[in-house]
Each structure stands twice: as C-alpha cells, then as structure tokens.
Amino acid sequence: MEALAPDASSLSSARALASGVNWSEANHARGAPPTLWGLCRGSGAKPYQTCVDLVEPAYKCSCPSRKFPCKHALGLLLLWSAGSVVETDAADAPEWVREWHAGRAGRAATREARKATERGETTPAQERAAQRRAAQRADRVNAGLAELDRWLLDQVRGGIAGLDRVGYRHFDQMAARLVDSQAPGAAGDVRRLAGVAASGAGWPGRMLADLGLLRLLTGAYRRIADLPEPLAATVRGRVGFTVPTEQVLAAPPVRDEWQVIGVRDEFDERLVTRRSWLIGRGTCRPALVLSFAMPGQPLAADLVVGTAVDADLCFYPGAQPLRAVAAHRHDAPQPFTEPSPSAGVEAALTGYADAVAGDPWLTQWPVLVRGTLVRGSQWQLVDAAGDALPLHPAAGEPWRLLAAGGGHPTVLAGEWGPAGLRPLTCFVDGEAVRA
Amino acid sequence: MSWNELLSAALIGTDRRPITFALLDPLRTLVPGEETAGPHRVLDAAAAMTVVRRAGHSAIHGVKVPPPAPDESGLPVPPPAAARLRGLLTETEHRYHAEQQHAALLLEWLGLAAAYGLRVPGYLLPDLLEHARTRAEVRPLAAAVGGQRAYWLAGLRPEWAWVRGESAPDGSEESWYDGTVAERTAYLDALRMWRPDRARDLLAEAWPDEPPAGRTALMATLATGLGPEDEAFCEAALDDRRKEVRTIAAQLLGALPGSAYQRRMSARALECVRVGHGGELLVTPPSTCDSAMRRDGIEVKPPHGTGERSWWLAEIVQRTPLPTWTAALGGEPASLLARSVAVEWRATLHRAWVEATVAQRDSAWAAAFVDADFGRGPNAEALDALLAMSLYEVLSAEDVVSLTIAALEDNPKHLQYLVAACPRPWPEPLCSAVLEALRSPMSRSVRQEICAQAALAMPPHHAADVRRVVEALRADEPDHDWPYLDEIARTLTLRHEMHQEFA
C-alpha cells in the first residue's frame, strides 16, 4: 500500500483520512473489475467522489489534487486494507462509478482500434520511407561503432593507466558521438566508464573488463547478419535499438503467477528507472519490468514487492530474454508469504552462468537464495552449505534485513552481478522487508 | 596468458609492451590471430576472459554463521500497530509543530507497546534504534520494546550498546592520572556517584598542580553527590585565580544547605529587606559592593541599563535560600508577595525571588507566584517567557493542573506555557476547561500553541467531544473556520486509532 503513494506527505495525509469519520460512504465490489469507491468529505460542500480499480490499479477522484494517486484514493485503499469498507454488489455501484468504468473501457477500445489501423494502413510510400530511415540509421550506427572500435583500441594502445585522471570529458565526448550516431545503448556504456575510472582501488581491472566487453559489442554488431536471430536481438538491444511495444506484445505471452521479489530505483540526472524483478512460480523464469519517470514525478507502482499477479508477460526478444511487459492481468495481485523457487548459492551462480552464456553483457541477474546475512568488513550472504556471496560494496550495510532475519536463514532476493550481490528484499514471517 | 598479464599490457599500452600468446594458450582458440598481439587482441582476450570469469565465479566456501538471535518470549505488536510504527519512523516532518507532534506520537506509541508488554518486529529495530540513539528520552522505551532481537543487534553494533545498559567504559584510576581533561572529568564524575569523598580527595590532591584550563570542568564534578564535607574545598575555591572556578564554587556553596556561604548571603539579604510598621516591605539595597560580596560571586558591574544598587540587590536575593524569608519576615510565600513594596524596587525584588524559586526548585513559592496572578498583574514585566516556562516547571503536579484550570478562565500572559507544564495525559477537569476556553476569544498564537498541546495531551477518547465543540461553533458561526479545533480532533482520532491498533 505504501508503495503506491507518490510521496511521503501524500501517505501521511492519506493516513489522516483513513478513518471512518471522513467518509460518508466506502464500498468494495468484487465484480469485474474489483473496485473501491467512496465519498470523502473535503473542504467544499460536495464530497469528493473517489474510485479505485484494483486490477491495474487505476484511480479516479473528483478532487483538484495534481498528485496521482491523490490522498483520497490512498486513504480509501488504507480504509479497505483495514477492513472498514462495506462489501457491495457491483450492480449497486452508483452512476459515476459505472460511467468511469465505461469511459475507461471505451478509451482502451479506441486505443486498440487506432493501433490496428496504424498497423494495417501503411501505404507503399510510407513503407519505402520507413525502409529509407532504417537504412540511414543502420549506416550511422555502423559508422559510430566503427569509431568506437578505433577509440577502444587507442585506449589500450596508449595504456589505460592514466584513465583515472583524464576526467569525464574524455568519455563524454565519445559517448556524445555515439548518441549522434543513434547508438544510445553503447553511448551509455561509454559514459559509465568515467564512473569506473573513478571507482577506487582495482579500477584498472574493471576498466579492462568493460573495454573488452564493448569491443565484443562492436565486433558482434559488425557480424550481426551472421548471428542467430535471438543473439542478434540481444546485440541490437545493447547497441540501443528499441523494440516497439506492439512488437513485444505480439510475442507469445507467458502466463504464470508472477511474484514481485524486489524493486530498485536507479537515479540518473534526467530519468528515474524503476527496476521490478519478477519470478514465475510455475515457470521459474525471471523477468525484469522497467518503468521510467522524470525526477520528482511518481513512478509506476503497480508491481508491489511481496505480491504475485496472475498475468501474461511478453518478453523482449534476445538470447537471454529478461525484460518484459505485462500484456494482460487476469486478477488483482495477491500477497504471498514466501517466493519460490529459492536456491542455494551454488545453484544461483549456475543460473547466472547459464544466463551469461546467452547474453555475455548481462551484469544484473535476479537471485532468490535461502541464507543468512553475515556482517563483517565485507558483508556476505551464506547458505546452509557454508557457501557465500559477497555483497555489492554500494549496497551499504543492510541492517534492516539482518534485523529481520535475526541471524536465521531466510529467503533473500537480490541482484547478482560482477561486483557482488545487491540485497533487495528478505521474506520473514509473511512480511516482505525491503533493504 | 593470465588476466594479470593482460592487465599490465593494457595499463602500460601495447605500443610499449606488446604481448605474446604462448602456442598452447587456450585463449588462442577463443581469440585466433598472430602470436604477437596488438591492442585488438588484448581487448578480445579481455572480453573472453571477463565472460569466463563472470560465468565461472565461485562461491566463497566454508563461511561460518555466527550464533543467531535467541528466540523471543514476548508477543509481537499486532500488524496494524507495526505498520503505524513504520510510518512514524520513516515519514519525516519538517514543519516545527508537525515535527514536535511526530516525536510525541512516536513516544506515545512506544509507551503503549511497553505497557502491553509487546515487542517491535525485528525489521523495524534498526530504524528505531537509530532514532533513539540521539534521544535520551526514547532510549529506555526503545530498549524495553526491542526484545531479544534488539539486545542481539546491540552486540553487533557499538552505537547501539546502550540497549544492553552498557555505556562508554568509565575507565580506571589510571585515566585519572594519564587521561585528557575530558577523560579525567568523566572518571571523577562517575566516582562522585558512589565515593564522593574519594573523588574530592583525588581532586584536592591534584588541585595545586592542575592547569587552570582543566580546573573549571573538574570543579563542576562536585555538583554530583554534593555534601557538607565538600564545603571547605569549595570555600577555598572562592579564592581561585580563575573566575569560572569561583563562579562554580559560589553556585555549589549556594546549593549546600546550612553552608556558611548561605548564612552570609541570608545576612546580607535581611539587611536589604525588612518589614515596616505597616506590614510593608522596606527595601534598602546595598550602597557598595565590598570585597566579601565580590568573593561570594556577586558581580560588581551591572549590565547596561541597570542601576548598580538594584543589580546588587537582585544578585543577593537570587543567592539567598528562600526559607530565609519565610523564617525571618514571617508568613507564607503568598503573604510575602502580597505585602506592598516601594514601587522602584518592587519588580527587582520579585524577579529575583522568581529566579531563586527556579534555581532552588521551590514548588510552594512557584505556586504562590502563579496564584498571585504574576503573569498579568503589575509584576508581569518581571516575568519573561523563558523565566515563566522555568517557573511553571517547578510547580507540583496537583498545583499546575488546578492553577491552569483557574488561569484558563481569564487568559493571562504566558497561559500557553502554563498549559504546556501540565502532566500528561490531562485529567478530565483540565480537558473540559481547555475545551471551554477555546470557545472564547484568544490570540492566534496562544490558541495554536494550546491546541497543539491539547492534541497530544488529552486522552484520545475526547475526539468525539472536540468534534461536538467544532460542530457547535460551526452552527453558531457558519462563516468562521476552526482549523485548530479540527486539527485537535484529527490528531485525537489518529491517537485513538493508534491505541485501538494495540487491542
């Protein structure tokens, strides 16, 4: 519930509202879709009409707040989670609730129809223009990556020993040229090299590894026509070609009970990226759902850690499919006690090794390990066999997770990568505790 | 070809250090090419080895897990109460009133959990212990509701050692002889608690060689466990070279019942104030400040704007034990306050008495001052806000409540501080008196302050009463807004729910 709030002040306002005295009416109907609605007393004479669709979730309120969801919607959710709303039949919902549902269904249908026409009605001229644009872009990317290749070789020819003193510009200039060449993925990798150069002891090894993997990318892109299609898609994705959502949604969906095991937000100066890690209870497949927002804007909060949703996921193409979008939800999310399947350290490492075999550039991989956090100069996650994974130095000291487990084995979800394990969530006594 | 060989070639640059792949190097099959390698082969080999190293990352083996936390015997707080605590710990308030309220709610939550004998779930403990670490008033409650888990955590992190009732090591007598000024002061302070004489002897022994800078802090340790045996040492310290030391010595002697210092001060005071034939108080302030007065800590030079004689009078009266007055002039504090005084000395005398009341924490005198309508009458100027707050804190629990109820009817100056001094939760008569008073006109800031107090101090079941008051006011004056009262009702409701969550 807290995860849905756009900020802390909305949440405290919502807490203040989440008591019966503020609501002249508060109802829940199981129907399709399961819905909450209520009337909340505000400063005006007319109460606010607040309505929540629990599947998406989606919100509607007649208040003038620009926050989304507003405190009234959050308050109604809190009221519902406290069990203080009236169970009602969907047929008894007031007119304004039914209108809202009808309006949403109508808009969704229009969107679908528009997409269908866009797909169907391309003229031969449009087709040719699209091909021309694609060819132009391919040329630019080729030129940009060729230049990157020369730049990489120059670094090693002259020696990388001084790269920790050349400053950000050295990398940013190359990155900017890659942006101009429409290869934003490679550009981001190059820009991040500046951070690697400044990462302290052991940086040359990390730098050489990243330079080598960039060289692997330029080489792979040069031979892309010879690569099997899934690997070619991985390479295109790393270079920075985007896959249109319609194309992703056209892939065969994977239906499962998708458990949200961890969420982490990454902050960039221009963009906040929310990475939600999922694991299918039946398929055991991991999935990564990304959402983006400008700094200060609320992020999508439909995937809540500790809940599972019966949904169809469509995966982006690649040799090790991981990123996915939710195509269709069959039911509202349900909380789970403990995610499965969890494994020991060895099995988690084997899983990562298999994934790297598919995508050699993969640096963030979800693991679900049953083990104990052990504190030290370097914190570790230790399983029953005494095998341990070191924690990522940037992960800090996860006291909250240690306190939750109390030194007993628990199921812990984290991101594993070359620098170590970033713990995200631990599951204790039915509670999903976030780091 | 090892990773380190690749790395050193890359560091120095292949222009200066070309590398050679051995004929049988397995990398040759991964990265085919000539034997002598340029930069492209270094990078290709680095890529191959990086992928191999990542895929082949092996676990650290044989790691021992330290003993886990012992099992809990107590029950955890109910989930809604835990969710409430999480909110209180993670949501921060930046406005002053909201922040104060937030801290008070957290303290109330902890008090409830402790009263029910329930414990906080483990995952909330690090936030709770961090919050309590810098707040002495929260620590005992936090330790009480933390259960075995908090005790276990405290063993892992020195910042939380207070949970185990451990404080920084007091040190040994060695730290007295070799330590820094701070260590020596801490040692002496600790020793004063259980062996005050031994501590004073150590101090007296070291005193002649003690550098002046350390003397002030060391002298102040005598305040702990102060007794008649300390008088001689303090009396001698009145002649110290350092003014700070003399000031502390005078304060200590002034607080020592029956000391010669107290007798000297009482004698001076009674020379200044006598009862006249008509029962009035005749005030004759000293005309000089002699060397004996200066030795006893009386400041010769008044602050700018104050007359010398009036200043010396105040200095003497402040240092005089209050029982001196009742014994020598006769009567209770209230009757002394009621006696007339020449108008030019009246404010000075009364203000000095208030200062003495605060310093000596005399609740009978404090009650007399408040009862004499001190905040509003002719003496109002003698009582600034800070002094009023200190004075109200000296009042006994019964006095402060009954005086507040009386004061609410006529809304004197500093009313809000009097309300703030009332013990919580407020008894019923006080609640009704406050609700009644809030209906009448009152300055905006006083009303706001009293409402902020009421929201936290009334028993939470009053939420409905407050709502009735608001409704009644709305019915009388539909155009007027009553945001403060709404705020009390909201906070009381919130507290009421907080209490319910433990049921």
Q: Which residue of A has its CA nearest to B146?
A: A403
B337-356 pLDDT, tens digit each: 888 888 889 889 988 999 99
User: B285 vs A243, B312, B314, B382, CA distance in Å?
Assistant: 94, 7, 9, 18
A53-95 pLDDT, tens digit each: 877 778 888 888 777 788 888 888 887 777 777 888 877 888 8
Share above pLDDT 70 across residues of chain A, in percent, rounded to a whole number: 95
Q: Where are the alpha helices (DSSP H) in A181-256?
A: 184-197, 203-222, 229-239, 245-250
Question: For residue B425, is the peptide bond before it cis, meaning its omega torsion is within 30 degrees of 0?
Answer: yes
User: B79 vs A312, A429, B128, B376, B495, CA distance in Å?
Assistant: 32, 11, 16, 50, 16
Domain boundary among B124, B144, B163: B163
Q: Which residue has the tokens 């090299």?
A: A193
Asked if pLDDT for residue B324 goes beyond 50, the answer is: yes
For residues B218 and B275, membership in a common domain is answered with no
A292-303 pLDDT, tens digit each: 888 777 777 789
Closest CA to B333 of B323, B342, B345: B323
For residues B8 and B23, membership in a common domain is answered with yes
Is the CB of A386 less than 8 angstroms away from the CB of B92?
no
Task: Output phi, psi for B199, to 5 deg.
Answer: -65, -45
Asked if pLDDT for residue A313 goes beyond 60, the answer is: yes
Report how many Cβ contacts below 8 Å link chain A to chain B.
176
Decide: A311 and A319 in contact? Cβ < 8 Å: no
Domain boundary among B332, B365, B392: B332
Q: Which residue of A has its CA nearest to B94?
A: A9
Chain A: closest CA distance from residue B100 (Å): 15
Closest CA to A73 of A130, A6, A164, A120: A6
**List of residues 6+ apart from A27 with CB closer than 8 A:** A36, A37, A38, A85, A86, A87, A88, A93
For residues B244 and B275, membership in a common domain is answered with no
Q: What pLDDT was estimated at residue B436?
A: 85
> Is B362 a domain residue?
no
d(CA A430, CA A412): 13
B331-342 pLDDT, tens digit each: 889 888 888 888
Domains held by chain B: number:
5
For residues B299 and B277, membership in a common domain is answered with yes
- b/e for A171-195, b at 16 or more Cβ within 10 A? bbebbebbbebbbebbbebbbebbe
Which of B34 and B196 is assigned the larger pLDDT?
Answer: B196
Is the CB of B49 less than 8 angstroms away from the CB of A212?
yes
> Is B472 a domain residue?
yes
Chain A: closest CA distance from residue B189 (Å): 35
Chain B: closest CA distance from residue A15 (Å): 8
> Is B411 a domain residue?
no
Radius of gyration in angstroms for the set of CA atoms belonging to chain A, rounded to a whole number: 25
> Is B340 a domain residue?
no
For residues B266 and B211, membership in a common domain is answered with no
Asked if pLDDT for residue A120 goes beyond 70, the answer is: no
Q: Which residue has the tokens 């010669």?
A: B260
pTM of the model: 0.75
Asked if pLDDT for residue B167 goes beyond 60, the answer is: no
Parallel, antiparallel or unpaired: strands A307-315 and A420-428: unpaired
Q: Which residue of A has its CA nearest to B464?
A: A21
For residues B51 and B17, membership in a common domain is answered with yes
For residues B247 and B261, membership in a common domain is answered with no
Is the CB of A345 less than 8 angstroms away from the CB of B59?
yes
Predicted complex ipTM exceeds 0.90? no
d(CA A267, CA A272): 5
Q: What pLDDT was estimated at residue A10?
A: 73
Q: Which residue of A has its CA nearest to B49?
A: A209
> Is B419 a domain residue?
no
Is the CB of B60 less than 8 angstroms away from the CB of A408?
no
Decide: A422 and A395 in contact? Cβ < 8 Å: yes
> Is B63 a domain residue?
no
For residues B144 and B89, membership in a common domain is answered with yes
For residues B312 and B244, membership in a common domain is answered with no
Tell me the residue range of the domain where B179 lies. Answer: 173-254
First to last CA, chain B: 70
Q: If you average pLDDT over every residue of chain B, what do you get?
A: 86
A42-60 pLDDT, tens digit each: 766 678 888 888 777 788 8
Is the CB of A353 less than 8 angstroms away from the CB of B55?
yes
What is the CB-side half-sphere exposure of residue B295 using CA atoms within 13 A?
A: 11
Chain B: closest CA distance from residue A409 (Å): 9
Q: What pLDDT was estimated at residue B382?
A: 60
Query: Which of A368-372, B22-26, B330-334 holds the top average pLDDT?
Result: A368-372
3-class SS of residue B341: strand
Decide: A390 and B60 in contact? Cβ < 8 Å: yes
Amino acid letter, A404: A
Domain boundary among B143, B163, B183: B163
What is the CB-side half-sphere exposure of residue B384 using CA atoms within 13 A?
A: 3
Mean pLDDT throughout A142-160?
94
What is the CB-side half-sphere exposure of residue B191 using CA atoms within 13 A?
A: 22
Share above pLDDT 70 across residues of chain B, in percent, rounded to a whole number: 91
- The kind and range of the H/E element at A427 are strand A420-428
B211-262 pLDDT, tens digit each: 887 899 899 999 988 999 999 999 999 999 899 999 999 999 999 999 999 9
